[in-house]
Chain A
Amino acid sequence: MTPVTVAVASGKGGTGKTLVATNLAAHVARTGLRVTLADCDVEAPNAHLFFDVRAAVAPVEMPVPEIVGACPARCTACRDACRFGAIRILGGRPVVLPDLCHGCGACTQVCPSGALHERQVAVGSVGVGRAPDGMRLVTGQLHVGQSKAPAVIRATREHALSEVSDVVLLDAAPGAACTAVAAVHGTDFLLLVTEPTPFGLHDLTAMVDLAGELRLRAGVVLNRVGTGEVDIGAYCRTAGVPLLASLPFDRDVAACYADGRLLIDGHPAGDRWFADLWSTLCDHLATSSAGVPA
């Protein structure tokens, strides 16, 4: 059976994506469903800090060309084929700039002499493990200094979707660019986490636009209620996006999060908040083609 896929995303960083994704995943796992949480915020993966998981880690590799043979005189085919400027001709020989390479393989396709070979370069890793409550956690991590986050996100998603699950939750990178798209593309539902500040509203607007362009169903989780006065509910009504839950901000929430504890364990109201969010989310999923996980 194909799992229901729900992505948790946010235009602005630090609004509570990881808080929502980790608590929702753990809550759903405790209802008895098979849950996989995929941390696709590979530049700053933090979900693993909230679970006692020993992960088996595999490298994420990307093919990068290298020159291993003799090039024909004055041949510039590989450089001409590369749309990323990752191959330059210096002193009559091609030189590869790995940081600019996307691993598309165009250069090796056009090379007439076989002088160009691809080698695998590690750009990150994917860890897979199981939390005590049965939830599966898949963590993507970009190696520091590498810029190919989308490749690591794709690998993380593939790992997560290959697990047998009823529900796959994806914790996306902040922002509305390619890293967010790589995580949320093609999911059944997009949970947009925001805060009641001018910054939160501004960046939520970009995410709602993105959801429209990607033709994804979306709903909003308003977090940190009490830290600003912007009326996110009014925006949601105007934009036609349902407001699924509002989570208050208090010192107990902050303390739980600071120590890497789940709210459903450490906050008196935590379990109810996420039970309510899951129930509301199921109502919305029921009206989509994804259906309610059972």
Chain B
Amino acid sequence: MRTLVVASGKGGTGKTTMTAVLVHVAAPSRPLAVADCDVEGSNLPLALSVDVVSRTAFAGRPRAVVDEEVCAGCGVCLDRCRFGALSLSDDGLAVIDPWLCESCGACTWGCPLDAISFEPQQAGEVLVGEGPAGPMVFGLLRPGEDLSGKLVTSVRERVAALADERGVGLVIVDGPPGVGCPTIASITGADGVLAVSEPTLSGEHDLRRLVSLAHQLGVPVKVVLNKADLSETGAQRIRSACSSLGVELVGELDFDTDLPRALGAVARGTRPPSSLDSSSFVHSVRAIWPRVDPERADWALPDDGSG
């Protein structure tokens, strides 16, 4: 089984649109599985029709609770907490700010009265659906949760298991923006990262960080430049960055504001999938797909391996 992750570093470059179009382009020739690992903003289900067939609770970190009957307000726990989550209320009792608490339990070790305990809580869900091309897995993280990386790992494990079960050879993953914990979880062990960039200074800056991360993790990168027509100087910057990073620029696509709507119409069933073929964006993606397809194209790290 091969895994291709669509990522970007910078948000809003067109990852989800690209993923949806790749699925459209790749699907007719063979079965595939799809995952949305942008668990904070899971938009792929809006761009591809999906019937959810199962939902599994994703456990969060246990929530720290102060027993007000027991707490004497000595304040020892305040000094033990390194995240500033504990304070004393007006009645002199310990109060935990759930938004700052990391559930580490350091407060419990100092408490002479065992007044702090932990309760289990749910942090999100892993959803499995049937999409146009095969199984689709996505995650929903409850707002404010800190376990996005772990939820991404659950989504990837689930999609890999489904692909295995059904003998599917290709998994396409819509990744999150950034280079932090959820991105690391999304691209670790993948066969390739297709980085969707844009012709801006910010796009170049964030692309460099993403390539550096992927190469650290031993995952090769290819770049597709989206919205290339918005700035020729910006486009030139991305071309130079790709060549200095030793990564292949597989293609350049013009800004297409109609495509998300066209994908949405197909996802809702109001237009047939074949209606997408009139889009020049889809046409261009079809042209670059043989250089991206991890089952056919050559994916290799740059010679020095460092990027």
Q: Any chain A CB within 8 A of the CB of B251?
A: no
**B contact residues around A129 at 8 Å (CB):** none
Q: Is A13 a contact of B10 with CB atoms below 8 Å? A: yes
Residues of A in contact, count (CB < 8 Å): 62
Of all chain A residues, the one with the shortest Cβ separation from B264 is: A198
Q: Any chain B CB within 8 A of the CB of A251?
A: yes
Q: Given known contacts A104-B82, A142-B180, A150-B146, is B202 in contact with A49 (CB within 8 Å)?
A: yes
Give a binary string over B229-261; 1 marks a CB under 8 Å from any A CB, 0 the rest.
011011000000000000000000000010011
- Please choose the segment from A52-60, A66-74, A209-217 that sits at the chain B interface, where 4 or more of its residues have CB less than 8 A away: A209-217
Q: Chain B, interface size: which category?
A: 35 or more
Q: Any chain B CB within 8 A of the CB of A177?
A: yes
**B contact residues around A199 at 8 Å (CB):** 16, 41, 43, 46-47, 260
Q: Any chain A CB within 8 A of the CB of B31?
A: no
Q: Is B199 a contact of A258 with CB atoms below 8 Å? A: yes
Q: How far is the CB of A47 from chain B (nearest CB, A)?
A: 9
Q: Given known contacts A84-B104, A259-B234, is B41 in contact with A203 (CB within 8 Å)?
A: yes
Q: Is B11 a contact of A12 with CB atoms below 8 Å? A: yes
A228, B144: Cα distance in complex, Å: 28
Give a binary string over B123-153; 1 marks a CB under 8 Å from any A CB, 0 the rest.
0000000000000000001011110110000
Secondary structure at the A interface, as helix, strand, loop or mixed, is loop
**A contact residues around B109 at 8 Å (CB):** 81, 106, 109-110
Q: Is B13 a contact of A83 with CB atoms below 8 Å? A: no
- Please choose the segment from A23-31, A168-176, A236-244, A262-270 that sits at the chain B interface, where 4 or more of its residues have CB less than 8 A away: A168-176
Q: Is B260 a contact of A197 with CB atoms below 8 Å? A: yes
A198, B45: Cα distance in complex, Å: 11
Identify A228's interface contact among B80, B199, B261, CB under 8 A.
B261
Q: Any chain A CB within 8 A of the CB of B74?
A: no
Of all chain B residues, the one with the shortest Cβ separation from A178 is: B146
Q: Given known contacts A13-B10, A13-B11, is B102 in contact with A104 (CB within 8 Å)?
A: yes
Q: Any chain B CB within 8 A of the CB of A102?
A: yes
**A contact residues around B149 at 8 Å (CB):** 147
Q: Is B230 a contact of A176 with CB atoms below 8 Å? A: no
Identify A46's interface contact among B179, B180, B206, B212, CB under 8 A.
B206
Of all chain A residues, the one with the shortest Cβ separation from B110 is: A109
**A contact residues around B100 at 8 Å (CB):** 185
A184, B216: Cα distance in complex, Å: 31
Q: Is A12 a contact of B43 with CB atoms below 8 Å? A: yes
Q: Is B143 a contact of A213 with CB atoms below 8 Å? A: yes
Q: Hey, which bits of chain B sit against chain A, CB under 8 A?
A: 8-13, 16, 38-41, 43, 46-47, 61-62, 80, 82-83, 99-100, 102-106, 109-110, 141, 143-146, 148-149, 176-184, 198-202, 205-206, 209, 212-213, 216-217, 227, 230-231, 233-234, 257, 260-261, 264
Which A-B residue pairs are the 7 nearest by beta carbons?
A14-B12, A13-B11, A175-B40, A104-B104, A43-B178, A178-B146, A258-B231
Cβ contacts A to B, 6 pairs, < 8 Å: A10-B11, A11-B40, A43-B178, A105-B106, A149-B181, A177-B144
